[in-house]
Amino acid sequence: MKTLTKCFLLLIVLLCSEQILLAQAIKGTVVDAEGNPIELAHVIARKRADSTFVAGCLTDAQGRFAFDALSAPEHILTAKCIGYKARTIAAQPVCNIILEGDATELSEVVVLSSYVKRSPSGDLSVRIQGNPIAKGKSLMETLRYIQGVEVISGNILVNGKDHTIIYLGDRKITAEQLRSIPTNMVKHIEVIPNAGASFGQEAQGGIVRVTLRQKEGLIGAIGLTAQADGEGFVDAILTPTLQYQFGKLSVYNSLKLGAGNYRTRYKRQDDYGSHRVDRTFRSDKESLALLENLGLQYQLTPTQSLQVYGGLYLIKDRINQTNHNGQLLSLRQKTQSSFVEGNAGLLYRANLNVGKNSSFSTKVEYLNQSNSDHIDYELNTHD
């Protein structure tokens, strides 16, 4: 009986030890080639299996970082910092990541610093107009050069945190809409790591606010991209973004129109000894997408403005899929889907002569979404 009790206690100890091991934190430091700590380096944890983003953080003044309750064997770490080459390692309970300097990028960082203003609260204001770093780069690429900002697969992290909210002036926009704005139309970008209550509870990762240039007349850009492969046309995307200003009135319009044919082919051969079966899968997808973003602003007085804006997001897909087992058509699937989103809003803002950047605003918004899917299945027939 005593032996059984000892075995039971030993089992409990082993299980508790395993749980503690699985829940242990991943921590470490990021240093340069001379061993000096690197402050404000981005450290990003991803799943080892598929490299999906898990969490991010910034190093402190001693170059230290930590991820609580992450299992080291299941993750990889990537350390990045402006002026250094990024490095990825397998996660360990304790990591020491050494970054090699990048002379070319470091020289650009030195230039960029003269265009950056940092407030005591940690907010950044980066002048884009006339900034040589932004020349020839997209807005997303330019954001990568701002300290504390990281762009991962179109997702913007501020101080290692996601759920960043993006504003174009006083209007909330998506990362897709931000990507369509030409850099030469932007006056400056504000990065607010710790958003106040005025931005709402959803601003967990900070705020990125884009302010466009104010110039009489018409400014903007028109982009056209196209792709093709061995089977022909793949897709084409037209992106005109324009702003017109006349006196107190300014009009902004961003349009993204795309059409594409996307093909997937898969072949497999199964050997059953006495016979073989060739299995094939074929998918042909025809897509049409429209993203429209229109805004109109009127300056009522030097301290008061009125904005009217609206947008339309439309996606239509038609997909034909076929499966063959040998010469037999075993399954045919036809899908027609659509997604439509419309929004409109009215915003009034008045700047107040109380404190710094104080203002009063009121906003009314309307949003409507609808989506539909129609799928037909045909089995073992050509009809």
| Mean pLDDT within 343-353 | 90
**Cβ neighbours of residue 139 closer than 8 Å, sequence gap 6 or more:** 178, 179, 181, 182, 183, 186, 210
4 belongs to a structural domain: no
11 belongs to a structural domain: no
Taking alpha carbons only, the member of 201, 77, 190, 184 closest to residue 143 is 190
12 belongs to a structural domain: no
Last residue of a domain, one of 74, 99, 124: 99
Identify whether the C-beta of residue 334 lies closer than 8 Å to the C-beta of residue 320.
Answer: yes
User: Between 22 and 311, whose confidence is greater?
Assistant: 311
Q: Please say if the pLDDT value at position 380 is more than 80.
A: no
Is there a single domain that holds both residue 78 and residue 140? no
Q: What is the CATH number of the domain that holds 30?
A: 2.60.40.10
Is there a single domain that holds both residue 364 and residue 312? yes
Identify whether the C-beta of residue 78 lies closer than 8 Å to the C-beta of residue 86.
Answer: yes
Is there a single domain that holds both residue 312 and residue 334? yes
Provide the percentage of residues in the chain whose pLDDT is more than 70: 87
Query: What would the pLDDT profile of 327-337 be if each residue is shown by its tens digit?
Result: 777 788 999 99
Query: What would the pLDDT profile of 263-310 be if each residue is shown by its tens digit?
Result: 998 888 888 877 888 888 889 999 999 999 999 999 999 889 999 999
Lowest mean pLDDT among 22-36, 219-233, 311-325: 22-36
Is there a single domain that holds both residue 116 and residue 52? no
Q: What three-state secondary structure class fits 239?
A: strand
| Order of strands, sheet of 207-212, starting from the edge strand that comes earlier in the sequence | 116-118, 124-127, 186-192, 207-212, 165-168, 171-173
Q: What three-state secondary structure class fits 3?
A: helix
Is there a single domain that holds both residue 71 and residue 150? no
Rounded Cα distance between 40 and 53, Å, is 19
Burial of 206 (0-12, 13-18, 19+ CB in 10 A): buried
Per-residue pLDDT at 5: 56
Q: Beta-carbon neighbour count of residue 78 at 10 Å?
A: 19
Rounded Cα distance between 222 and 220, Å, is 7
Q: At residue 46, what is the residue type?
A: R
Residues in the chain: 383
Is there a single domain that holds both residue 179 and residue 295? no
Last residue of a domain, one of 99, 115, 144: 99
User: Between 221 and 261, whose confidence is greater?
Assistant: 261
5 belongs to a structural domain: no
Q: What three-state secondary structure class fits 231?
A: coil
Rounded Cα distance between 144 and 167, Å, is 17
pLDDT band at 204; cut points 50, 70, 90 = low
Q: Please say if the pLDDT value at position 7 is more than 70.
A: no
17 belongs to a structural domain: no
Taking alpha carbons only, the member of 246, 183, 190 closest to residue 220 is 183
Is there a single domain that holds both residue 336 and residue 241? yes
Is there a single domain that holds both residue 260 and residue 372? yes
Domain coverage including residue 147: 103-212
287 belongs to a structural domain: yes
Last residue of a domain, one of 180, 197, 212: 212
Rounded Cα distance between 383 and 379, Å, is 9
DSSP-derived secondary structure letter, 188: E
Is there a single domain that holds both residue 260 and residue 319? yes
Identify whether the C-beta of residue 289 lies closer than 8 Å to the C-beta of residue 314.
Answer: yes
Per-residue pLDDT at 23: 47
Structure-derived torsion over alpha carbons of residues 50, 51, 57, 62, reported in degrees to the nearest 10: 120
Burial of 73 (0-12, 13-18, 19+ CB in 10 A): exposed
Per-residue pLDDT at 261: 94
Identify whether the C-beta of residue 191 lies closer than 8 Å to the C-beta of residue 207.
Answer: yes
Q: Please say if the pLDDT value at position 157 is more than 60.
A: yes
Q: What is the CATH number of the domain that holds 136?
A: 2.170.130.10
Q: Beta-carbon neighbour count of residue 267 at 10 Å?
A: 10
Is there a single domain that holds both residue 286 and residue 372? yes
Taking alpha carbons only, the member of 377, 286, 269, 369 closest to residue 325 is 269
Is there a single domain that holds both residue 111 and residue 84? no
Rounded Cα distance between 43 and 57, Å, is 6
264 belongs to a structural domain: yes
Number of domains in the chain: 3
Is there a single domain that holds both residue 241 and residue 374? yes
Per-residue pLDDT at 247: 87
Taking alpha carbons only, the member of 159, 154, 166 closest to residue 55 is 159
352 belongs to a structural domain: yes
**Cβ neighbours of residue 130 closer than 8 Å, sequence gap 6 or more:** none
